[in-house]
Structure 1
Amino acid sequence: MPASNPSNRTAAVVLAVIATLIVLTGCSTREQPTSPPPSATSAESATLTPELDHLHALHIRADGTILAGTHTGVIALTADGTTSRVGVSDDDFMGLAGVTGSDRIFASGHPGPRSSAPNPLGLVASEDGGQTWTPRSVAGDIDFHALATNGQLLVGFDGINGLLVSTDDGRSWTPGAPLAAAALAITDRGVWATTPDGLQHSTDDAQTFATVPDAPALALLAAAPDGTLWGIDTADTVWRSPDGTHWEQRSTINSVNALVARNAENAYAANEQLLYTLS
């Protein structure tokens, strides 16, 4: 077999380098609304004692207490990791949601061993920060896997058909978009949903949604009362956005089940063993 021509090999290498530079140059000139900081650090965490039983969702009560909706009821969390039961219910609370800093909370899920409630629970409500619960609607019919409210609008994902929307504190519902939402959040800019197709945004009370361009691949999402959005992506990186469009990488954590936002400077994420303080 004839030996290859050195000049041909050199030309091939030069062409490969030029092609690489073209690709890199093209990438560097593209607008990047989602940007990382100089470095991402690990978020501070506390070990939960005792640990939780299958955490579903988080809420911040009026007195600042962090509440966890779990497989066996509502549990209060402190920043140092101490956990304690709230109320006497042992129901499996899934889509726990409320406006941060409020004692009015909504939830869904399944009745516990001591409960005579229908299965699924439908929507239940608490006016005292999770101490007591009363049925609100769709008992025996719907198990909301995700819930979000801004105090006026309540949006839930039923786990099967899509979103349901209520404007009367969950007493009645109308159909929303046929969207499978892993997490929901509401700000003054609209309704936000994490989905397998990326972050989605609605400006018509969850009737229609559009994909948010260049948003991180978020799995969890939470809105603070000031409109700041916090998210955690599928690689366990924490992100923050003032408007849902421009996202800033904040820190890294281990895998978590739930996220709640206090304000633009502070949020919490947790799994059954750890509570993370995000900033």
Structure 2
Amino acid sequence: MKVQIKMISVILMGILLVAAGCSNKSEKPEQTKEENKTITKTNFEIVEAKSFKLKNIRGIGYPGNDNALYVAANDGLKMYKDALWYETTANQHDYIGFQAVETGFIASGHPQKGTNLKDPLGLVKSTDKGETLEKLAFYGNANFHFTAASFSGDGLYVIGEQPNGQLSLGVNYSTDNGSTWKKSGLKEFNADSYGMMAIHPEAGNTLAMATRSGIYYSIDNGNTMKHITDPVMVTALTFSGDSILFSSVENDKILLKTINPSSGEQINMTFPFLDYDNPITYLAVNPKNKNQIAFTTYKNDLYQSIDGGQNWKRLLENGK
């Protein structure tokens, strides 16, 4: 039992960020009009992927400008559509903090070598499936492991790991696509860690955060937080309409549940058995079709359901 708890705690150090001490080399961004232009890479195509093995999955989601499940990895994007896998032939960036939005996706991370892009990417956005990238903020100055965006595009959040001219330590949010930032007050937030954030798909002021002591919820951009679950370790979460889909680790078991933030009602979901050392790392629900659900695990397994979680199909095993 003690060995298992220690093991899962070590695993989750990569999922959670200790609130008291963070380190990310961010400087105040100085961007010119030239730098804000779209970044283009030639010879870009989306082709069927015959085989691949992912070493690191950085995020998953259902962008609104495509009918596919996107997987962001350390070597670019993989897309699953109509029972086939696809990949890009260029712009294979390490997309950290990947967020699917209605017009495409937003991410941070590191550029593919040879693309002549500054490292780190800051916050970038693509509306053409990764062919071009628009620089939103902090280009060449910061990398964000914890980002969140409303599907509608009216709320963008990052966790600042080191204060600078525009960002404060902790949770920061923007309502103008990264042009200006405000610090979330986090009133009544008592957890000792920051974790994955999720934003309501339509209401950009509604935030949920996973921590080692449960889920904190806010309807005012994180200025006031409410603890809405028992003090359990939550490893991943996402919104499904007004409800929150989340995974927790409780009594040596990995669980998948939904919670109604208003009533507190929780419903356990059926999903494939996972070993204790293979917790869920990312969750995604398609805002255009809530029956489409996907999750990844620490060991790079990927499962998807197209019937609201009644049946699941494993799409990747150990990243393959």
Distance in 2 between residues matched to 1:198 and 1:55, nearest whole Å: 23
Question: How far has the Cα of 1:267 moved from its partner?
Answer: 1.2
Select the residue among 69, 72, 88 that pairs with 2:72. 69
Q: Is the 8 A contact 2:171 2:184 kept in 1?
A: yes
Q: Secondary structure at the match of 1:208?
A: coil
Partner in structure 1 of residue 60 of structure 2: 58
Cα 1:183–1:276 shift into 2, 3 Å: same
Partner in structure 1 of residue 194 of structure 2: 181
TM-score relative to the length of structure 1? 0.72
Question: How far has the Cα of 1:51 moved from its partner?
Answer: 3.2
> Could you tell me which amino acid in structure 2 is paired with residue 261 of structure 1?
V
Partner in structure 2 of residue 126 of structure 1: 126
Cα 1:58–1:236 shift into 2, 3 Å: same
Question: How far has the Cα of 1:109 moved from its partner?
Answer: 1.1
Distance in 2 between residues matched to 1:217 and 1:228, nearest whole Å: 19
What are the equivalent positions in structure 2 for 1:90-105 lying under 5 Å apart? 90-99=92-101, 102-105=102-105
Matched, 1:269 2:295: yes
Distance in 2 between residues matched to 1:58 and 1:176, nearest whole Å: 25
Matched, 1:206 2:225: no
Question: How far has the Cα of 1:193 moved from its partner?
Answer: 0.4
Q: Is the 8 A contact 1:103 1:130 kept in 2?
A: no
Deviates most, 199-208 or 244-253 = 244-253
Q: Is the 8 A contact 1:142 1:158 kept in 2?
A: no
Distance in 2 between residues matched to 1:264 and 1:104, nearest whole Å: 18
Distance in 2 between residues matched to 1:164 and 1:130, nearest whole Å: 25
Select the residue among 235, 244, 248 that pairs with 1:229. 244
String of CA shifts for 1:173-195, please: whole Å, max 9, x gaps: 22224784321112248210001
Matched, 1:165 2:173: yes
String of CA shifts for 1:74-126, please: whole Å, max 9, x gaps: 1112474x432136212111111133xx2331100122222322222110011
Question: How far has the Cα of 1:54 moved from its partner?
Answer: 0.6
Cα 1:85–1:264 shift into 2, 3 Å: closer
- Segments of structure 1 that go 5 or more residues without pairing to the other structure are 1-47
Matched, 1:193 2:209: yes
Distance in 2 between residues matched to 1:86 and 1:159, nearest whole Å: 31
Q: State the 4+ residue runs in structure 1 displaced beyond 4 angstroms.
A: 177-180
Q: Is the 8 A contact 2:80 2:86 kept in 1?
A: yes
Deviates most, 89-98 or 245-254 = 245-254
1 or 2 for the larger relative contact order (CA 8 Å, sep ≥6)?
A: 1
String of CA shifts for 1:55-86, please: whole Å, max 9, x gaps: 01111023320111111111112474x43213
Question: How far has the Cα of 1:149 moved from its partner?
Answer: 1.8
Partner in structure 1 of residue 281 of structure 2: 257
Matched, 1:137 2:137: yes
Count of residue correspondences = 228
Q: Secondary structure at the match of 1:206?
A: coil
Distance in 2 between residues matched to 1:68 and 1:159, nearest whole Å: 25
String of CA shifts for 1:216-236, please: whole Å, max 9, x gaps: 532101113x32321111343
Q: Is the 8 A contact 1:143 1:158 kept in 2?
A: no
What are the equivalent positions in structure 2 for 1:22-33 lying under 5 Å apart? none
Taking only aligned residues, the RMSD between alpha carbons, in angstroms, comes to: 2.6
> Could you tell me which amino acid in structure 1 is paired with residue 303 of structure 2?
L
Cα 1:216–1:248 shift into 2, 3 Å: farther
Q: Is the 8 A contact 1:143 1:159 kept in 2?
A: no
Distance in 1 between residues matched to 2:58 and 2:281, nearest whole Å: 6
Deviates most, 53-62 or 159-168 = 159-168
Cα 1:86–1:275 shift into 2, 3 Å: farther
